[in-house]
A and B are shown apart, each in its own frame.
Chain A
Amino acid sequence: MKILRSVIDWLEERTGVESAIKHFLYEDVPASAGWHQVLGSVAMFAFLTQVFTGILLALNYAPTPGEAYNSLRYIVTELTGGQIIRGLHHWGASLMIIVVVLHMTQTFLWGAYKKPREATWMVGALLLLLTLAYGLTGYLLPWDNRAYWATTVTVHISALPPVAGPYVLRLLGSDGGSIGAVTFARFYAAHVLLLPPLTMLLIAIHLYLVRRHGVTPIEADRTLPKKKFYPQQVFKDTVATFAWFAILVAMAIAVRVPLGHVADPTDTSFIPRPEWYFLFLFQFVKFFDGPLEVVGAVIIPTLAMLVLFLVPFIDRGKVLRIRERTGAIAVIVFAIVGWSALTARAVATTPPSTEDPDAGLALVEPWQELPADQLAAIGAFRKDNCGNCHVVGKSGPGPDLTRAASQRPTDWLMQHFKQPAPGIATQLKNPELRGLVMFVTKRSDAALKAWSSAPQAAVEGAMVYQANQCAACHKLNGVGMQTGPPLNGVADHRNREWLEGHFADPQKFSPGSTMPAYKLSSRDLDRLTNYIMQIPK
């Protein structure tokens, strides 16, 4: 204890840290201060939680389109606690907006923005805008369909203002309203580099002003002795913060944050919708058609923010007790009713999404959804070292085949695959050659993703599948006949022994089956069984 004391004394003498903390904690607060003033502290704690969880996410996140989605999938499916960290950040954003709005509502109802606290209010209004800006920029970062399509709408809205529109678009890195790598970089940079320092600066100013003017007293405080900030008010702030945090943790654990399919600009079925706190605006814009759209989407919201910002100059009356502030109460009631009605209407009129919100959380990899012929073609490509010249995803000695489908005629391709260069012959058989021709001329998006990432064992399994023409009777990932049972999800009701035995002697395992017996080498049998068992429903 003595050592601790001397360390503190040493620090105090050199830095004054102890007296600074004491000065901060033992500030006078009016006798009426209490539970209604805890919300500012909760909002600040909410911000700090977002900073903390945001940094954690950034430690495993690749901020480029495509990679962003994959790295987020990695965070939530591969890393212990990843789901909870993302949950804390996602739900933390929503809960932060709630607490910031409640804090402003309280300040508004009590009239705490009046002279000399106008600047405190105005800085607070800017902080509300920043909080919403985090929500808007952060929404794009998962790079799933939800993120992509909702941000497409946002970007188009920001292009509406006459004259300024095109410049806003350029500022957002968008080419005519589309969202690509540049827009993504701008949103990410704003979210993690631009907004946080700005927020910290404004919070510092806001706190300084709160301290400078003190907590707003009421009439009765004149005659009552002042209290100290610590410990009673700090206790109340802590209890409120704890309650807020407990809700957040419960949500992070219990409510899964969705992650849909990776952003697909060609998906025409996806109906974008914003996060819940912007739904009212989304609905509001619907009331304005054609040339009037800019009024609902830009002009009215901007005017509303301006009015909010200038509240202290609009209401210049005397400080009143809260019960006498009927005007303020009416404004809040009107805002709550209006917001709820618009939000309810938006929820009721938006058709349910056809997209599985948790598609990205399933552990299905691109190759598992690829028809066997395409996966086998990837196998042929790898088997004959095509990748030595045609480096996947890069230009090498040969063209990068992932960039565009081949335009060569079939004869040329067949010849090229048999003899890719003078003096080099491949060992590909005719069905493999035909499979490759199909593949390089018509390759699908899933095939592009699987091309380099599909595990070799699965690829070889698909080659065995093709070589034995399983598709002549069975359907798998949408390709094949239906004489025999479809094979998707077969692992749900058959185990490995059953499948392996069944290949060798089908009638023994399913009497009356017309399937011929297959004599496969142990390696082929192993590969084929593994492959089929990994194809999801």
Chain B
Amino acid sequence: MESSTRRSFYSAAIAGLGGLMTAALAAPAAAYLLIRPKSQKQSDFVPAADLAQLTVGKPEEVVFRRTRVDGWRVLNEKSTAWVVRKDDQNVVAYAPQCTHLACAYHWEEKDAKFFCPCHNSVFAIDGNVVSGPAPRPLDRYVTKIDQGKVLISTEIQKA
């Protein structure tokens, strides 16, 4: 039988080396699973509508094509937004999903409100919740106006 100091050296070495190996495997695994992909694609502005075609106070559902990154795939796909012209130089573009459970909402002309048919959330034209279960105002796309065109970015701002 070995001496007890020798035994405890063995035990400590086994635990130490084992721990080192576990850590060396766990660290890259955690980084690999938890850190966001290094995205090489910045959010890109795409033209969605002509400012001249929008009437102040009347939301329009505009359809535009944008490039979206989905894991290893880059998709060029159709996308929509509810665009409201606020005045001469300002528009807001709402993402087309209700902030409750992401159903598609629409503009009710007669009530002048956005209405979500899933759980009856109602939003005002400024995006604020009027009634229903929606927890926050409508999400907005970052927009800018360039030479009379409304440009929409993929970046979403949550209220």
A454–B76 touching, CB < 8 Å: yes
Contact across chains for A232 and B10 when beta carbons are under 8 A apart: yes
Kindly report which residue of chain B lies nearest to residue A84, judged by CB atoms. B28
Chain A residues lying within 8 Å of B66, measured Cβ to Cβ, are 456
One digit per residue, 1 when the CB lies within 8 angstroms of any chain B CB and 0 when it does not, for chain A 60-98 equals 101000010011011001111110110010000000000
- When the two chains form their complex, are residues A455 and B41 in contact, meaning their CB atoms are under 8 A apart? yes
15 A-B pairs within 8 Å (CB atoms) are namely A70-B72, A74-B37, A74-B72, A79-B38, A84-B32, A235-B14, A238-B13, A242-B21, A382-B76, A387-B65, A453-B67, A453-B73, A456-B65, A456-B76, A523-B147
Q: Which residues of A contact B11 (CB under 8 A)?
A: 231
A241 touches B28 (CB 8 A): no
Number of interface residues of B (CB under 8 A): 37
Looking across the interface, which residue of chain A has its beta carbon closest to that of B46? Answer: A456
Which residues of B sit under 8 angstroms from A453, Cβ to Cβ? 67, 73-76
Q: Which B residues form the contact surface with A (CB < 8 A)?
A: 2, 7, 10-11, 13-14, 17-18, 20-21, 24-25, 27-29, 31-33, 35, 37-41, 44, 46, 65-67, 71-76, 146-147
Known: A79-B32, A80-B35, A452-B76. 14 other contacts (CB 8 A): A56-B29, A71-B71, A74-B72, A81-B31, A84-B28, A231-B14, A238-B17, A239-B17, A365-B74, A392-B76, A454-B76, A455-B41, A455-B74, A456-B65
Contact A78 B17 (CB under 8 A): no
The answer to whether B33 and A56 touch across the interface, beta carbons within 8 angstroms, is: yes
Taken together as a complex, chains A and B put the C-alpha atoms of A327 and B7 apart, in Å, by 40
Out of B7, B25, B41, B67, name the residue touching A231 (CB < 8 Å). B7
Contact call A242/B76, Cβ cutoff below 8 A: no
The interface size of chain A toward B, counting residues with CB under 8 Å, comes to 44
Distance in Å from the Cβ of A422 to the closest Cβ of chain B? 22
Tell me whether chain B's interface is mostly helix, strand or loop, or mixed.
mixed
Minimum CB–CB distance for A233 against chain B, Å: 10
Known: A62-B72, A67-B72, A238-B14. A81 touches B28 (CB 8 A): yes
Q: How many angstroms from the CA of A81 to the CA of B24 in the assembled complex? A: 12
A382 engages B65 (CB within 8 Å): yes
Q: Is A276 interfacial (CB 8 A cutoff)?
A: no
- On chain A, the residues within 8 Å of B21 by CB distance are 241-242, 245
CB of A521 within 8 Å of the partner chain: yes
Inter-chain contacts of A234 with B (CB < 8 A): 10, 14
Residues of B within 8 A of A4 (CB): none
Bound-state Cα–Cα, A238 to B44, Å: 53
Known contacts A56-B29, A85-B32: A457-B17 contact under CB 8 Å: no
Binary flags per residue of A367-399, CB closer than 8 Å to B gives 1, else 0: 000000000000000100001000010000000
Q: A242, B20: Cβ atoms under 8 Å?
A: yes
Residues of chain A lying within 8 A (CB to CB) of residue B71: 60, 71, 74
A288 contacts B by Cβ under 8 Å: no
User: Chain B contacts of A81 at CB under 8 A?
Assistant: 27-29, 31-32, 35
Q: Does A251 contact B (CB under 8 A)?
A: no
Contact (Cβ within 8 A) B67 A455: yes
Distance A453 CA – B39 CA, assembled complex (angstroms): 15
Q: A235 and B13: CB pair below 8 A?
A: yes
- Write the nearest CB–CB distance from A496 to chain B, whole angstroms: 15
Most buried by A among B7, B20, B72, B75: B72
Contact at B14–A249, with CB atoms within 8 Å?
no
> Does A52 have its Cβ within 8 Å of any Cβ on chain B?
yes
Is there an interface contact between A73 and B29, defined as CB atoms closer than 8 Å?
A: no
Are A79 and B65 in contact (CB-based, < 8 A)? no
Q: Which residues of A contact B37 (CB under 8 A)?
A: 74, 78-79
- A222-244 at interface with B (beta carbon < 8 Å): 231-232, 234-235, 238-239, 241-242
